Amino acid sequence: MIIMPLNATKPVYQDNSQPIEKRVEDALQRMTLEEKVKLCTAQSKFSSHGVPRLGIPEVWMSDGPHGVRAEIEWNSWSHARWTNDSSTAFPALTCLAATFNPSLAHDYGVAVGEEARYRRKDILLGPGVNIYRTPLNGRNFEYMGEDPLLASRMAVPYIQGVQQNGVAACVKHFALNNQEEWRGHINVNVSDRALYEIYLPAFKASVEDAKVWSVMGAYNQFRGQHCCHNDLLLNKILKQDWKFDGVVVTDWGGAHDTRQAALNGLDIEMGSYTNGLTSEAEFGYNDYFLADPFLALLRKGELPVSVVDEKARRILRLIFRTAMNAERPFGRYVCADHSATALRVAEEGIVLLKNRHNLLPVQPGKYKRIAVIGENATKNLTEGGGSSELKVKYQVSPLEGLQKTYGAESIVHAMGYSSGPSVYGRVEEPAEDQQKLFDEAIEVARNAEIVFFVGGLNKNHYQDCEGGDRQQFGLPFNQEKLISEILKVNKNLVLVLVSGNAVAMPWEKELPAIVQTWYLGSESGNAIANVLSGKVNPSGKLPFSFPVKLTDNAAHSFGALSYPGDSINQHYKEDILVGYRWHDTKKIKPLFAFGHGLSYSKYEYGKITTDKKSYTKEEVIKLTFTLKNTGSVDGAEAVQIYSSQPRASVLRPQKELKAFEKIQLKAGETKTVEIAVNVKDLAFYNDKTQSWDVEAGEFIISNAASAGDVKSSVKILIR
């Protein structure tokens, strides 16, 4: 640290009143070559170097997107065993996406950003915006669904909320990290059109609209180069085309070559392989590709100093926005406001998939004997899952929430099955007698008036977990048989599905009620009980499609070379037809459509109209329709606007989401909904001209409750 007399003038780089770019250049010209290189590499599992001689602090990072991870040791992945690092667990990002509520995404970002700031973190490693391509991807629960517009509109306010705390969001994983199987090396082949229309928009919005301060590269390869030093992705698209001025961070261990890392857009290299400092490990921090090997090439003149200067500028800019920003707030931690935000996100994200004969809501006092069956009613679902694991200050389990709402004396719980402990990277068999658990559950169900089956997936390896994809589309741990047998003894069965992925439902027609509840975090039990009891009217919508069978999914319909690949290459043969775009265009009916979600109210859509019948390519389409809550309870409906182009020179999907808005309506209330869509947003990416084109001709604009429930349409002409 520089020590100056009290009346001395601060160096420019230390002066917060100076423009950041001026501070960056002042700091840069004071640094040695060695200090510039040091900025580019890790010094511990979750921090990178500063410049101690100049008082420039290191950069501290933390997982994850739905809560600040517990502290781990300097050089290992073991917990540091602190006593003050328990956080609020916010719902996983699939749940946030299911709210279809961007303003709530901002509140979420503010809250998790405050917790990161309180814990003195400079980068929060999230949000994840990789597109849901297959229901087997182990990390889908961390992402925001299958539609690029939905992911974009939910990510932008989240990032803005985080960064108003002086904490950098780190949007990840850039790009095409759509599976965990062979994620470290699989080479993804995808068309330019699918790349720009499906897989890049959420990243682009994060950069251009949210002004995100950092981006994390992906493990996989794209067109023969690893994404953490991919010239096309990082240099051309991210930094040149999108004018990204922040820092590119590797995923941990995602760098593979010094020259490529130096020249192809990487700024900070983090890693998971070192287990000690330099001499204490075979591959220590000084051995990283952007450490001593990088310095050696610079000293020999094989790389120009301008290469490291460009990286140092970006890192200094990040530091001045975060650690050396004297105006950033102090943050808050595990407070009532954060719990309230977590609860509201959980409540708004829960999706009522099915409710035959209005079995739900179940008012307290209606039944005296309620069976709660399923391990997920009590299993800790904030542990496991890989880097998204959390050490929480508190959490309310589904069983606890239901007991509080309906009375503990009315509820009998039976596990029904056991999945074993959540251990990263391997499966551990459960110790319990599975047949005994099964038989006990059937008896409990037989003697109950209604059954809440709280099952689904969990954070075990090969479930919703980093490092491995799911091995089956059906429910694991004998749940399919258990549900079938329960239905034989009790037809009043409500499936409370906990997962971040779609699952097969061979007994769906027999089930009267299905509720998709995601991983809801600290307030899980309260949110579930509030929705099941009717205290909260459900308003969540699915952010991805539920196929009937796995081969109905686009990626799986083309065989192994499409997913998971041949261990070396894979080809996205479905191209732009991802999710509902595939189901609608190929006329393959899903089990539950993208955007689907029921309510305890009914909503009546009026006919959609436009302000005129024809538009130029520079104009805005103004859409209007009425929405009426015809039910007896207040509620909210996420209305969706889709477009289609019946006659085009290229393949266009049957429909594409172009806008959405969540409308609050009191019972009996009618509102006029006004939504604008830019004509330019009707474009497709022309891979021949490498530009976005809106073709003249007829388009159809529709209002809808889901991709499978279009209410009305209007034709317009683009000239």
The residues annotated with a catalytic role in the active site are 251
Within 10 angstroms of residue 30's Cβ, the number of other Cβ atoms is 16
Q: How far from the centroid of its chain's Cα atoms is residue 550's Cα?
A: 22
Which residue, chain included where needed, has tokens 């050490």? 391
Residue 267 CB burial class (10 angstroms; 0-12, 13-18, ≥19): buried
CA angle at residue 394 from 170 to 106, to 5 degrees?
A: 35
Gap between the terminal Cα atoms of the chain? 64
The contacts of residue 483 (CB under 8 Å, 6+ apart) are: 453, 455, 475, 493, 495, 507, 511
Closest among 139, 144, 140 to 129, alpha carbons compared = 144
Query: Could you give phi then psi for residue 345, rounded to 5 degrees?
Result: -60, -45
Alpha helices in 407-469 (DSSP H): 434-446
User: Where do we find the tokens 């850039």?
Assistant: 174
Q: Taking the CB of residue 279, how many other CB atoms lie within 10 A of it? A: 7
Question: Cβ distance 565 to 559 under 8 Å?
Answer: no
Q: Three-class SS string for 317-342? A: HHHHHCCCCCCCCCCCCCCHHHHHHH
CA distance 431 to 421: 9
User: Do 400 and 372 meet the contact criterion of CB atoms below 8 Å apart?
Assistant: no
| Whether the Cβ atoms of residue 498 and residue 455 lie closer than 8 Å to each other | yes
Q: How far is CA 455 from CA 112, 311, 349, 414, 449, in A?
A: 28, 48, 18, 12, 19
β 123-124/187-189 pair status: unpaired
Distance of CA 48 to the CA centre of its chain: 25
Round to whole Å and give the CA distance between 123 and 170.
7
The string over 654-670, giving b where at least 16 C-beta atoms fall within 10 Å of a residue's C-beta and e elsewhere, is: bbbbbbbbbbebeeeee
| Closest to 508 (Cα-Cα) out of 493, 490, 519, 529 | 493
Task: Say how many C-beta atoms besides its own lie within 10 A of residue 173's C-beta.
Answer: 27
Of 62, 96, 65, nearest to 341 by C-alpha is: 96
| Closest by Cα among 692, 664, 661, 702 to 153 | 661
How many Å apart are CA 13 and CA 48, to the nearest integer?
19
DSSP state of 79: B
Main-chain dihedrals φ then ψ at residue 145, nearest 5 degrees: 95, -170
